[in-house]
Amino acid sequence: MLDLALLGSGGSMPMPDRFLSSLLIRYNGRKILIDCGEGTQVAMRILKWGFKSIDIICITHKHGDHILGLPGLLATIGNSGRTEPILIIGPNGIAKIIEGLILSLSYLPYDIKLMEVSNSSTRVNFFQEGVEIEEVYNNYSSNGDLIISTLELDHSAPCIGYSLYIPRSPKFNPEKATYYNIPKNLWKNLQRGETVTYEGNIIEPHMVLEGSRKGIKLSYITDTRPIRAIPDFIKESDLFICEGTYGDSEDIGKAIENKHMTFSEAAQLAYEGKVRELLLTHFSPAMEEPQGYIENAAKIFPNTIIGCDGYIKTLTYS
């Protein structure tokens, strides 16, 4: 089970009634933040999910509406008593920029690990002391707590999209476990994919597990033009969060010029990616009522939600 909160739904600059695009994810008591524009910590304070357990911050790109909230937030996390390191992921070139932003802070009681990626998949395991990561090559591996994949996008600065995948272990077959005389206290270990030894016999998980089951997939794509690689990258997401900077399809010229998308372009990606639900965000400050343009997306992809600040959702295994 994964909870998410859209902290803000605006692009470009924070407005009195609209914070900048940022997403907070809560999973197994740990948290991941995607993007951190100016004011993100205020939206987090309103949400009341706390600051201390943020283990990973994913940054899409260097533009201020996605990154300028970082120094203040990192200081607030420090004030919350955190001492475990925080991992910050971003596109190539982001480390230097973040190091510069951090210079404004006099002291942080924890370390920051910076990781620059382009197209990659990283397996994350959560521990009491923080997180452990390793590069993986198969998105649907059943091991690990969480797989974070990234995709290079097409924006006016190096930018990456994210997909988070929580694998689900294959179904456990109790009849097979009984057949092999495996005591019930070891069933959980096998279910987790661990090999167990019982009375000198080595029992492998595949002996009692069968079939693969789809996990939970969440995708986050902003800021970019639609590119051919996106539908495959977001394929069958339970929720696809996508920028819809312009609601009016007549703004396509501005979308092309500024390297953003219209609602209908985002909906087309959702349709091609066969996702379950589309959540639009990153609205232009010039668009006062994004809801008024929903038809431009819904006629292409009916299961569309217009994001708003504080929107909360829980994703579960289907």
* Residues assigned a catalytic role: 65
Name the minimum Å distance from CB 189 to Zn ion. Answer: 45
In the complex, least distance from residue 268 CB atom to Zn ion, rounded to whole angstroms: 20
Q: Are 65 and 20 in contact (CB under 8 A)?
A: yes
Cα(122)–Cα(148) distance, integer angstroms: 5
The H-assigned helical ranges of 4-136 are 40-47, 64-67, 70-79, 94-102
CA gap 64, 44 in Å, rounded: 18
Binding site for Zn ion (CB under 5 A): 11, 63, 65, 223
User: Which residue do the tokens 């299961």 mark?
Assistant: 303
Q: Is 181 left (phi over 0), alpha (psi -120 to 50) or beta?
A: left
Pairing verdict, β 201-203 and 209-210: unpaired
Number of Cβ atoms within 10 Å of the Cβ of 176? 14
